[in-house]
Amino acid sequence: MLTLRGVGRRFPGGTEALAGVDLDLGEGDFLALLGPSGCGKSTLLRLIAGLDPPDTGSCVWAGAPPGPGQIGVVFQDPTLLPWARAAENVWLPLRLGGQRREAAWPAVQAALAQVGLADAAARYPRALSGGMRMRVAIARALVTRPRLLLLDEPFAALDEFTRHKLQEDLLALWQRARCTVVFVTHSIYEAAFLARRIVLMTPGPGRIADEIASPLAPSPQTRLDPAYAALVGETTRRMQRALEMP
C-alpha cells in the first residue's frame, strides 16, 4: 500500500528526528510503532499521513495516493470541537467533504454505535468522560470509512480498565472493517496485544531497529494466553538489545 525508502526528516534547529527509515505497509496490516519517547514515532506517523514531506528518501503509494477522508487520524488528545455535540464532531469529516447533516446522519449514527456511544450523540464533549471523548475521536476517524487509520498513543491518558476495553474494541473494529492500522505506542503490552507487526524504533536519530511478527490470533482472550506473555518478553528483550546497540 505504501513504501518508505531511506526516509529522513530534520527539524529546523538541527534535530534529526528520522534517518534512513525503510518500511512497507501492506493492505490490511495492523502495525505498531513502538519505541521510547522522542524516537520519532509521531514524526513518522505525520509523514505517512502526508501532513509533512520527508526531507530525504521517498514515500510511494501503490496506486492512487489517498484522497480527502481516506486517512483517519486519532491523536493522543481527543481534540474534539468543544462547541459541537458528539454527533456533530463525528459528522465533521463528512461535512468537510460536502455532506449535509441529513445525508450524513446514518453514517454518523453507525460510527457512534460502533464505539458504543449511540446514546451520547447529543452530549457536548465536556459532559463526556475521557474514555468517551476518545471513543468519539475514534468514531470521527472511522466515519469516512478510511483505507488507513493512524493512531498516535490514543489510549496513553486513560486508566487501565478503559484502555483494555478500548484496545479490545479497536481490535474488533479492525477485524470487521479490515482497514490498515498504524498504531503509535510506547507500551510493549499494548503493542503485543494489538499489533500483527511490532516495529521497534530507537532514538538519536529515529530509526527502525527491528520488527517482530506477532504469532497471536487477534482476540480479547490473548491477555491471559501464555503466548502473549512470551511475546511481551520477546519484545522487551529485542527492544533492550536495540537500545543498547550503538
Partner 1 sequence: MNGATWLRAAPALFGLAALLLWEGLVRALDVPNYLVPGPLAILRAFLEDPGGLLLALLSTLSVTASALLAASSLGVLLALAMAASPWARAAIQPWAVVLQVTPIVAIAPLIIVWVGDPFTSLVVCATIVAFFPVLSNTAVGLAAVSPELLDLFRLNGASRWQILWLLRLPAALPYFLAGLRISGGLALVGAVVAEFVAGSGGFATGLAYRILEASYRLRIPRMFAALVLLCIAGIAINAALAGFSRWLLRRRGEV
Note the residues at the interface with ligand ATP (CB under 6 A).
Answer: 11, 13, 15, 17, 35, 37-43, 186, 206
Cβ at position 96, least distance to partner 1 in Å: 4
Size of the site for Mg ion (CB under 5 A): 1
Cβ at position 48, least distance to partner 1 in Å: 11
Q: Closer to partner 1 at the Cβ: 90 or 239?
A: 90
Answer for which of 22, 58, 65, 81 binds partner 1 (CB under 8 A) is 81
Grid cell, residue 187, equals 507500551
DSSP state of 204: T
Length of the chain: 246
The Cα 111–Cα 204 span in angstroms is 39
Q: Which stretch binds partner 1 (CB under 8 A): 20-28, 119-127, 161-169, 211-219?
A: 119-127
Q: Which partner, ligand ATP, Mg ion, partner 1, none, binds residue 85 by CB below 5 to 8 Å per kind?
A: partner 1
Q: Which stretch binds partner 1 (CB under 8 A): 19-27, 29-37, 95-103, 106-114?
A: 95-103
Q: Residue-wise over 16-26: b if at least 16 C-beta within 10 A, else e?
A: ebbbebebebe
Quick check: 97 binds partner 1 (CB under 8 A)?
yes
The Cα 89–Cα 57 span in angstroms is 36
C-alpha 117 chain-centroid distance: 20
Instruction: Please count the other Cβ atoms lying within 10 Å of the Cβ belonging to residue 190.
Output: 20
Nearest in space to 122 (alpha carbons), one of 87, 82, 79, 91: 87
Residue 87 contacts residue 135 (beta carbons within 8 Å): no
Q: Closer to partner 1 at the Cβ: 88 or 169?
A: 88
Binding track over 33-52 against partner 1, x by CB under 8 A? -------------x--xxx-
The Cα 80–Cα 70 span in angstroms is 19
Quick check: 42 binds Mg ion (CB under 5 A)?
yes
The Cα 228–Cα 152 span in angstroms is 23
Answer for which of 13, 14, 106, 126 binds partner 1 (CB under 8 A) is 126
The Cα 86–Cα 99 span in angstroms is 17
Q: Closer to partner 1 at the Cβ: 86 or 209?
A: 86
3-state SS class at 139: helix
Q: Closer to partner 1 at the Cβ: 105 or 234?
A: 105
Residue 24 contacts residue 77 (beta carbons within 8 Å): no
Please list the residues that pair with 201 across neighbouring strands.
208
Q: Closer to Mg ion at the Cβ: 35 or 108?
A: 35
Binding track over 54-73 against partner 1, x by CB under 8 A? -------------xxx-x-x
Using CB under 8 A, list all residues that contact partner 1. 46, 49-51, 67-69, 71, 73, 75, 77, 79, 81-83, 85, 92-93, 95-97, 124-127, 144
